[in-house]
Structure 1
């Protein structure tokens, strides 16, 4: 409770400063953030429509890991953010955008590629390619392992990569196996350059959420943006 209150105080101070600056400039400025999978793969197809729908607003977009974009939101630098995976929801207004499977991917030539389903223990024989600390995707992997009595050090080798496209490239080249959101690998799965493998008793689905501070001075406007993004993803779901 105290943490949420402290976040609110920091945010309010920054929000008032921004509001005073906007009085000097008739054009509205809105800054928002996106976590890496959402920003690079899920959000990208809809940005042109979103930006063109608001010709009177100057937008800026920051793409980074969950820890960084949430920090910028709390400091009042961002008006809202789109976040994948796990985060503490206390102190925020949160709008669910969609739920996305979090899956195991391997190269088509990998020994696991021809298996219909594998055990978690079988994966430890291979290198694991995963995101950097502070990433929501890494947090999902670590929590799933911990719930089953394991950790990432049980894998043959750990390779940390802070870029999803490079993770996919190295997985395609059979350097190791990787976990990521299905959205991030939709193109590669369709082209069969990556293969999804089911893991016994490991069914991971996570939320993609629109997040804003509860005390935003322009709450109705920001929630309007949330509804727009909900609409984009709802239409997208109807195509697949």
Structure 2
């Protein structure tokens, strides 16, 4: 019997998880099937790859030697699939995708429009949620990949920057700041704020930028927290306060001149959007193809979403 990539993938996952049962859950296999593949690999090399106990498994010296080669084979497979993705125009399958609200409401529909014209046989399961929820569903294997508005750090996630965005102060028609070209930080802090809820990527970026300028998030005069970008825009239009949102999310309202975006003097709130997926999980080809597609859109094709 020859060694194969599938066995190396199972070996790597067991080693990373430290458990046959945890690896089986991640790989969508039964625990006996995982055990059998590891035993086959051990029979092939004629050595034990793990020391087993009732609580966990740890790599033997032979397993430690094999580990970097298994990791390298995983990366080669990922790179191969991504390199070949653009040639697979007849690709079929389902893409399970999560997006935070600004991306899901304002940017992703345009992106998926371009993508679906090229890959007509892929179907979509899309969830629009906040960043924390997306992270949880990616880790629980309910989503292949997620698109989020703030950089997150988690040992089991790969997080890569993709598209660029800028947050701006937004004010409604009739507001005292509506006609001003720029607004100072002192003027902003005197305004009632309508913000996205805690846990959203937009809220996280706002709080980080204010802290960089010596303003504690707890001191912001927040009068209302809402669970969607659309609800925030409606509250601002109604005169309940000002807010800070992605400039891309208010293009329609700005065109109608019912909301205006304002730079805050001395403050820039530029950010990346991020694509996230489980670090040690091999993505299905529709997800790999979409990942390559959106990474290619970074910078040079951003204008496609601003036409």
TM tier, smaller: 0.7 to 0.9
Distance in 2 of aligned mates of 1:9 and 1:133:
36
Aligned to 2:28: 17
Aligned partner of 2:209 among 124, 128, 144: 144
Instruction: Kindly indicate whether residue 233 of structure 2 is the aligned counterpart of residue 222 of structure 1.
Output: no
Q: Deviations over 1:112-144 (max 9, x none)?
A: 112222221211222100011111111111112
Equivalent position SS for 2:103:
helix
Q: Deviations over 1:147-201 (max 9, x none)?
A: 2222344344421011211211111222100001111111112221111111111
Residue range with higher mean Cα deviation, 185-194 or 223-232: 223-232
Aligned partner of 1:103 among 162, 168, 173: 168
Aligned to 2:44: none
Instruction: Kindly indicate whether residue 178 of structure 2 is the aligned counterpart of residue 113 of structure 1.
Output: yes
Equivalent position SS for 2:236:
helix
Aligned to 2:303: 237
Which structure 2 residue ranges, 5 or more long, are not aligned?
Answer: 1-15, 31-91
Equivalent position SS for 1:117:
coil
Distance in 1 of aligned mates of 2:185 and 2:179:
16
Q: Is the 8 A contact 1:11 1:75 kept in 2?
A: no
Larger relative contact order (CA 8 Å, sep ≥ 6): 1
Superposed counterparts of 1:1-240, under 5 Å: 12-17=23-28, 28-51=93-116, 53-88=118-153, 90-218=155-283, 222-231=287-296, 234-237=300-303, 240=307
Distance in 1 of aligned mates of 2:206 and 2:254:
20
Q: Are the structure 2 counterparts of residues 50 and 166 from structure 1 closer, same or farther at C-alpha, using a change threshold of 3 Å?
A: same
Distance in 1 of aligned mates of 2:98 and 2:22:
15
In the TM superposition, residue 215 of structure 1 has moved relative to its aligned partner by 1.6
Aligned residues: 228
Distance in 1 of aligned mates of 2:103 and 2:21:
26
Equivalent position SS for 1:46:
helix
Distance in 1 of aligned mates of 2:28 and 2:246:
37
Residue range with higher mean Cα deviation, 170-179 or 80-89: 80-89
Equivalent position SS for 2:126:
strand
Q: Is the 8 A contact 2:94 2:286 kept in 1?
A: no
Distance in 1 of aligned mates of 2:116 and 2:26:
22
Instruction: Give the RMSD, CA atoms, in angstroms.
Output: 2.9
TM, length-normalised to structure 2 = 0.65
Q: Is the 8 A contact 1:100 1:182 kept in 2?
A: yes
Which structure 1 residue ranges, 5 or more long, are not aligned?
Answer: 20-26
